[in-house]
Structure 1
Amino acid sequence: MRKILGYILSPIHYLAFGFFLLLFHPLQWLSLKLGGYEAHKKTVDIFNLCLLATYYLLGNSVRFTRRFDLPTDRPILFISNHQSMYDIPPLIYFLRKYHAKFISKIELTKGIPSISFNLKHGGGANIDRKDSKQAIAEILKLAQRMKANNWSAVIFPEGTRAKTGNLKPFSAGGVATIIKKVPNVLVVPVAINNSWKMVQYGTYPLNTFINMSWTVLRPIEPQDASIEDVIKEAEDAIRNHIQSLNS
């Protein structure tokens, strides 16, 4: 039944999603030109709230839980599992006061209304996976911006999406670079559950009436532990939380 409803509701979702992509592209340009970073960021926050709202057109729901008070006066590295492209708008919107930036594939900086513009001008890192030197340089620049502005970053250490929801091993990569270059960074795991089910059948039809959740878990102070231990602690916390929800 959910799949059948997906054939009916997916076009409605895509029309709304596409409308917001087209609407917010000139709005981002205008806000950046007239109001600089702060105005652009507020526009991007609203844009991602609108994208998030399109999930509900499929009967899906989003629950975001922040169990711990997080500081706004120091950089945060949010470490999250990654299940689908639909992970991103809730993270941007609900973590908006932490100025969370993303490490994204450079290919995404071209050809996608609103999204490509934000990736170019939003302050994140756009990396070429085929060019390790360029990728490291971009992450180092992001680390410098985090230190200078108390910005935060979101990283997906699995490296790619877990299309069946099963957690893949975390790699050090960009996590290690940021921890080394931002001495006062706080590491915060985020567990995403069930967003993979939204694209269980591919891009069409999208799945319907899925309860999805984003949960901010206990912060980790990385200064007193090895990077490997920090990554393992974050991975274990995310895995244990997802298992507890699905057991």
Structure 2
Amino acid sequence: MENDGVNSFLRSRKMEGLFCTRPTQDSAECSQKIIVSRNESACKTLTGSWYVNNDGWISFMISWARIIACFVSMMVTTFIWALIMAVLVPWPCQRIRQGNIYGHVTGRMLMWILGNPITIEGTEYANERAIYISNHASPIDIFLIMWLTPTGTVGIAKKEIIWYPLFGQLYVLASHLRIDRSNPTAAIESMKEAANAVVKNNLSLIIFPEGTRSENGRLLPFKKGFVHLALQTRRPIVPMLLTGTHMAWRKGSLHVRPAPLTVRYLPPIRTDDWTADRIDDYVSMVHDIYVKHLPESQRPLGVEINRPT
């Protein structure tokens, strides 16, 4: 199967009304037109972008319809790819690639159903063999990560994911990695196994360094796992900054709002010369990069810093 051709098709810049991905002035203009055209009585969000903040019953009904459509669509694609994965059981590398294709198809489809305007920046860094990291504040983050991580990428999740109906079993079939977070010793061993698999099969990784989802969109402290993986694989780290997702789908809510979203890839952080005695320094350095580039509403409380120009 020509995965490059499939991925090129899946990442094509169609549906310009929803997905403005060129990191140029045209992209900003496109996003602005979409947002302003939704309603003249727009409300300004904490992210600094404009969108309609309508909590009326019609908005709730539309939101529920979108969520149901997402669930049904995801179940259909998950079932289809579960059958494909079952056939490919003897070939783990092919299962990884098929798992990525599943993510590209399903993630893009779910974002299309939700209808949020999206701007994607820094796509020149989106095809590195690297450890991709991302802040995490909404279920939408999962959909974006599924869609935008390159082919040949595996994720790391808690071992309990296997109990998620159908999706958890597909996660395992796709040869993604699981760790036992309740046992530090087992977690460290799982990280070593993950690093060995990444190097052996020339893979990339995607991980949420906060370790859990932020309740209010503000950046949480980073765990050390991504640095341990970098030390063992010598892969560069590519930060992915997600903004607006916490406004679009808040934790504990079933109301999806039309907030504009931005995905921004930052330049890779080389790890060739990193040493094990400076793990805490590296964690702080990468966390500070996020703090500098996130909007004020998503920075940790009490942190004030001039935004980069």
TM-score, structure 1 normalization: 0.84
Cα 1:111–1:162 change in 2 (3 A) is: closer
Deviation, structure 1 residue 245 = 9.3
Instruction: Measure, in 1, the Cα distance between the counterparts of 2:115 and 2:77.
Output: 24
Are residue 84 (structure 1) and residue 138 (structure 2) matched?
yes
Alpha-carbon displacement from aligned partner over 1:117-139 (angstroms, at most 9, x marks no partner): 23212222212221223322222
Instruction: Measure, in 1, the Cα distance between the counterparts of 2:83 and 2:112.
Output: 29
The percent of aligned pairs where both chains have the same amino acid is: 20
Instruction: Measure, in 1, the Cα distance between the counterparts of 2:205 and 2:178.
Output: 13
3-state DSSP of counterpart to 1:224:
coil
Gapped regions of structure 1 (runs ≥ 5): none
Are residue 66 (structure 1) and residue 113 (structure 2) matched?
no
Letter in 1 for 2:263: W
Match of 2:98 among 42, 61, 76: 42
Which residue of structure 2 lines up, in the alignment, with residue 178 of structure 1? 229
Are residue 238 (structure 1) and residue 238 (structure 2) matched?
no
Q: What does residue range 193-204 of structure 1 map to in structure 2 within 5 Å?
A: 193-200=243-250, 202-204=252-254
Which residue of structure 2 lines up, in the alignment, with residue 121 of structure 1? 173
Alpha-carbon displacement from aligned partner over 1:76-122 (angstroms, at most 9, x marks no partner): 1112211122212222221223x222221222211332x21232122
Are residue 14 (structure 1) and residue 70 (structure 2) matched?
no
Indicate if the aligned counterparts of 1:79 and 1:234 stay in contact, CA closer than 8 A: no
3-state DSSP of counterpart to 2:242:
strand
Cα 1:11–1:245 change in 2 (3 A) is: closer
Cα 1:40–1:16 change in 2 (3 A) is: farther
User: Structure 1 residues 120-129 or 150-159, which shifts more?
Assistant: 120-129
Which residue of structure 2 lines up, in the alignment, with residue 141 of structure 1? 193
Greater C-alpha radius of gyration: 2
Which residue of structure 1 lines up, in the alignment, with residue 82 of structure 2? 29
Instruction: Measure, in 1, the Cα distance between the counterparts of 2:244 and 2:71.
Output: 23
Instruction: Measure, in 1, the Cα distance between the counterparts of 2:251 and 2:137.
Output: 14
3-state DSSP of counterpart to 1:188:
strand
Cα 1:200–1:141 change in 2 (3 A) is: same
Cα 1:34–1:125 change in 2 (3 A) is: closer
Superposition CA RMSD, Å = 2.6
Are residue 221 (structure 1) and residue 270 (structure 2) matched?
yes
Indicate if the aligned counterparts of 2:96 and 2:154 stay in contact, CA closer than 8 A: no
Cα 1:228–1:42 change in 2 (3 A) is: same
Cα 1:84–1:20 change in 2 (3 A) is: same
Deviation, structure 1 residue 223 = 2.4
Instruction: Measure, in 1, the Cα distance between the counterparts of 2:195 and 2:246.
Output: 30
Letter in 1 for 2:148: F
3-state DSSP of counterpart to 2:294:
helix
Instruction: Measure, in 2, the Cα distance between the counterparts of 1:102 and 1:134.
Output: 18
TM-score, structure 2 normalization: 0.69
Deviation, structure 1 residue 64 = 2.5
Higher relative contact order (CA 8 A, sep 6+): 1
Indicate if the aligned counterparts of 1:25 and 1:117 stay in contact, CA closer than 8 A: no
Alpha-carbon displacement from aligned partner over 1:157-204 (angstroms, at most 9, x marks no partner): 2121122121112121x123212321x311111111111112237332
